[in-house]
Each structure stands twice: as structure tokens, then as C-alpha cells.
Amino acid sequence: MIDASFGVPVIRHWGRLVEGPVTAERWPDAPARPGSVDVTPPISVIPTHGDGFPGRPGLAGHRRGGRVWSPRFVPHSVTRDESTVTITAVDAIAELTLTSTFMMRPDGVIVVSVSLRNDGDSPYMLDAFGPTIPIDESAVELGVLSGRWAGEFRFHRFDWPIGAWTAENRLGRTSHEHPPFVWATSRDASEWSGDVWGLHLAWSGNHVAYAERLVDGRRYVQLGELFHPGEMCVYPGESIAAPDVVLVHSSNGFGPASWGFHAEARRRLPRTLGPRPVLLNTWEAVYFDHDQAKLLHLADLAAHVGIERFVLDDGWFGSRRSDRSGLGDWFVSSDVYPDGLRPLIEHVRGLGMEFGLWVEPEMANPDSDVLRAHPDWVLATDGYEPVLGRRQVVLDLTRADVFAHVLGRLDALLSENDVSYVKWDMNRPLVQASNRDGKAAAHDQTMATYRLFDEIRRRHPKVEFESCSSGGGRVDFGIVSRVERFWTSDNNDPIARQRIQRGASLFLPPEIMGTHVGPSPAHTTGRETSMVFRAITAFFGHMGVEADLTAMSEADRADLATAIGHHKSLRHVLHGGRSLRIESPDGTIVHGVVSMDGREAVVACAWIAVDVRPFSVRVPLVADGLRVRVLLASQHGPTEIGLGPDGDLVFPAGAAETAVLVHLSAS
């Protein structure tokens, strides 16, 4: 329920369905407290200090000299249609207009958008701006995601404290550390029970997440863009829109709540996706050693095991024989490819596969032709030595000449070569990122990156794109409208990946989550695992391979081909169904996907504890009336896991990392 009478709209209730008449009286304002203001202000979508709100204002700014720093809005207009309510409020003294839009999706997802217009004749300096969402007082716990490179999407759940919890991100991308997803839950919430409220800021740059429990017991979550000092100024007659906040709720636990996020991600995709082609990425197979003979052989073996898309990763351009030079020089290297990429592409296409290419358009090495010719193209602060990351700097895409150059090179690559797929990487954060005027430019750089994606997609509408940022550093619903896939992590160790993918599945549907079969031992951890275990782990997403097929045994290639075959036969379930995260005994991860009609499911159970089990473990399957088939089961020594006589999955004693893949279908 939305109340527009206060000035700035107030969300009186969202979440559990209520019976009876929906009126404001059912959700009264908090009573005044002694020692406070006479009327306790509600938690509006943009609460302000001028209204007496005791928490963090949703809008902070001022005009020259610090004037009109504390606005107070009054109602102006309300418009609505079947799915959207738009409410405007004005402050004639501050000369500001605030517009709040609430879009209600048929599946219960809510999208909140706010914008601010400067109606005055002087600039309005903006320090903070973002929607504030009240949370029911039955939500006593918070759940957040955190992580690092090769360890993304770790889910943490904790008691909601008195006072505030906050996470701030200044890295210029969504980040590994603090992706902007916040969950509020009842005490008893689990995967399939309890009340769960989920909130996400659809933005790929700097942000702040803030959750507060006021002393009177009221709770709210605030999500918005984080601005550097002096970064954001709204000029006369101009407006700024805050990133969307996506809201989901379930009274039946995290599982159904995450389906709301999945549905919204699918709606925002740039195109309707069918079954996703299995791909091979060359990175962990060859790194920078682009030997054409090996790549041709790798392509032959890829086609043999059932690969449908061959992606050439870093190292094909300029002087890029390592990460020390050549980045930004988007010309095919004549040293490695004297005849260009055409012979390799034609070979790949002749094998029935699509061809993909890796780029990192936002960055350059100092040791590059582009920066030798244009040293002023760096997004940095004059007078300071730029801080390097992975031996590279950031290009200032806010400049028209830099933007035009990068767009031109990408356009030429895709026009001159038969490329169906682009893996777009961003391997370092922004540090002291200033434009030519010395002003902080993280916001403008993010918007320029969006424009670059949009324009290259407009020119090449058939090409698919993947968002990668040292793995899962840029995964959000702002970039999802520009890509068909996210690279979830640079860590292909299947034990680590089981946890990473489980965290990512809270908000990403399987078909846009990149999941690869890596080498053994894993290059990030050195851990050895069986091919079947790796394949089962990669099965539940946009499946791929990132390993040297030329170095694999025949037996491993045969197991891989079998797994890819099963994957292709079940993509109609995997790439359009509902994800399941099933609670299971310690040391196991059980998850799956069920078709929308409920007649088919694919379920995997993995033992991820690194120690040897001294006893057998049983995981019950609810499979009454269903046909159950074990498709793949990894083996450790003389034993393998599989179905017990009562239909349960059985992990025998003595086996360490093991997994089973099961297909269930209606009889």
C-alpha cells in the first residue's frame, strides 16, 4: 500500500498478503515520543531531515553557500495505470521536484524509481540520493552478500542490530566485496518457510547499502548511489534519476523470493534467451600462448565433445603476450596471427561452432600504442601518478574522443570478423578517477560504459555479450539489460564453485550464470577433482569448459562429452525453470532446477567437505510418482554414490568430494 498524502510517498505495507480493506488506518504512523517532535514522521521513500526524520535522509544536498540543505516536500500530483503509480512532490523554497514511481509486476516484484529535478536558477550539489524502503518489524535478521576475487557471493546472515548496518562500495563497479543485495528475514526463515524481503540496487557503480533499526523499533533499508565529494551536481532545469531498487517478498522462504529476482532479471535481458550454447573459453587452456596449431587442435577436440561456441580469450591483439603491454590496442596481432583471425574463425565455423572474442575496452596498459599516442586519455587525477591495477589504467570514456576511439575499434572488430559473442572484461577498480576538469567521474564513467554497451549492441544486434569483471565483480540488474551472461567467478575449483554458485543463485537464474568445467588440479587452488564432479558442478548454468582438452585423457574427454550430452538434453529445464536450493546435511550441497510446469526436475547433490566421511550420508528425495534416473555419479575409490532402495541419495562412507546428478520426470 502506498500513501501519497504525506508529501513524499510512504510505502505503508509490502510483503505478506493481507485480508480485508486496505486503508491507511491499518498501518498508522508511529506515536510521538516524549522529547521528540510532536508528529513522528513516517519512513517515506525519500525521508528528509526537514520533516524531523531521525534516521539517515534519503536526500542530502545544498545550493551555493550551503543554502536550502534540508528540503521539505508537499504533495503535488498522482497518476496511475494498471501496474504503475507515479507521485510527484515539490518544495517551492528549495525549488526541487521529486518524482517517485512504483511499478508492480504481475508476479509480485516491485520496482521503485525516484528522480529529482532542479527547478531553480542555480546548481544543486547532491551528496546522497536513494530510495528508502520500510521493513516489517517481524524482520529481525539481515542477510547480505560479500566476497573477494575467486570467492564471490558468500551469504552472511545475522541479527539486525539496534542502530545501523552499512556497506559502502567505492570501486567503480558492482564489486566482489559488497554487491548491492540486502535480505531482511523473520527468525524462522529458511529456503522454504518464513518471511523474506529482498532488495537490490540495479546499478553497476559506486553504491551504499544502509539498514537501520530505529530506537522505536521501526526498520528500513536504504539503497543508493555513492557519490565522491563534489561529484554530482544537478544544474538548473536538469534531473537526476537514482538507480532502480527491485523488491521481492515471500512468506515461504528464500526459494520463492529468489524466483522474483530471477523473473526480473529475465525481464531485463536484452533479448529472449533460448537454450544456451555450451562454450569453450581458451583462457586456462593457453593463457597468453596463442599458438595457432594448438588452437586449431583445441577447436577440433571441442567440437568432438559437443562444444557449440569457441571463445578466444586475452592475448590475440597488439603486443599482448602478457598482462604487461598491449591492452587498449584493439588490432589483431600480426606476430601471432599474420593472416588475421579469419583462418581460425573459418576453422571454428567449419566445425559447426560459433566464434567468440575477449575484450577489455575500458582499460589500457601504460605500455601500449594508444597511451603512447594519447597519454592524457587516462581517467586519473592530474599531478598524481595513476594507481595501477593488473598493470593497467582506466580510459576516460567520459571524453567524446576516447569514447569514439574505443567504439570505433570495437565496431571494426565485429564488422571485419565473424564474431557471434563478446566476453567483456573489467579487471580493476577505479581509483582517484577524475575527468579533465579534476572532478570525480565514477558516475559519469559508469554511464559512459552503459552507453558504449548500448551503441555497440545497436550496431551489432546479433552479437551476444558476457559481463566479466575479474570474475563476478560486475553482476547486477543495471548491466543485465546489456548482456546475456555473467562470468560468476575466476575460480573454477568445483568445491569453491558449489558455494559461489549457490550464493549467486539467490538472484541470478541459471541460464545467465557462467559455469565452467575447469582443469584438475584447479589453477586457483591446486585441488584435484574428478571430471564428473567438475561437470556436475558446471551443469547448472550456462555451461562451458575452460580447460586444455589437448592435455586431457581420453577417459576424461569421454566423461565430459557424456555430461555435455546430458546438459543439452535438459536445457529446456535448466534454462527456463525455477532454481531449487534444498536444505541438506552438513557437508553437502543439494540444489536443482524444476520446470515451470512441475513435470521435470534436475537435481544434484555434492559432498564438498574436504575430509573423508567415516559414515554414510543419506539425502532424502521427494520423488513420489516420479521416474528417477541417475545421469552422472562421481566415483572415489571402489564406491560411488547413487540411489538407495527407498529412493534416497546415498553417499557411502570413505569417499571425499563426490556428486550425483539425478533427473526426475512425471511418469
Of 425, 476, 556, 559, which is the active-site residue?
A: 425
Contact 510, 542 (CB under 8 A): yes
User: Cell digits for 625?
Assistant: 510418482
- Report the alpha-carbon distance of residue 255 to residue 20 in Å, rounded: 28
Of 51, 329, 396, 490, which is the active-site residue?
A: 490
From the number of C-beta atoms within 10 Å of its C-beta (0-12, 13-18, 19+), residue 640 rates as middle
- Report the alpha-carbon distance of residue 180 to residue 546 in Å, rounded: 29
Question: Residue 241: CB partners within 8 Å, gap ≥ 6?
Answer: 113, 114, 115
- Tell me if residue 465 falls in helix, strand or coil: strand
From the number of C-beta atoms within 10 Å of its C-beta (0-12, 13-18, 19+), residue 366 rates as middle
Contact 429, 389 (CB under 8 A): yes
Among the listed residues 659, 612, 609, the one whose alpha carbon sits nearest the alpha carbon of residue 633: 659
490 catalytic? Reply is yes
The pairing of strands 279-281 and 309-312 is parallel
- Report the alpha-carbon distance of residue 97 to residue 239 in Å, rounded: 9
Contact 213, 76 (CB under 8 A): no
Q: How many CA atoms lie within 13 A of 240 on its CB side?
A: 25
Task: Give a three-class secondary structure readout of 276-335.
Answer: CCCEEECHHHHCCCCCHHHHHHHHHHHHHHCCCEEEECCCCECCCCCCCCCCCCCCECCC
User: Cell digits for 320?
Assistant: 599482448
Question: Residue 342: CB partners within 8 Å, gap ≥ 6?
Answer: 417
Among the listed residues 152, 127, 133, the one whose alpha carbon sits nearest the alpha carbon of residue 201: 133
Torsion of CA 548, 550, 552, 557, to 10 degrees: 100
Contact 118, 107 (CB under 8 A): no
Query: What is the Cα 328 distance to its own chain's centre?
Result: 25
- Report the alpha-carbon distance of residue 240 to residue 224 in Å, rounded: 12
Torsion of CA 619, 602, 273, 363, to 10 degrees: 40
- Report the alpha-carbon distance of residue 70 to residue 49 in Å, rounded: 6
Contact 594, 573 (CB under 8 A): yes
- Residues noted as catalytic: 425, 490
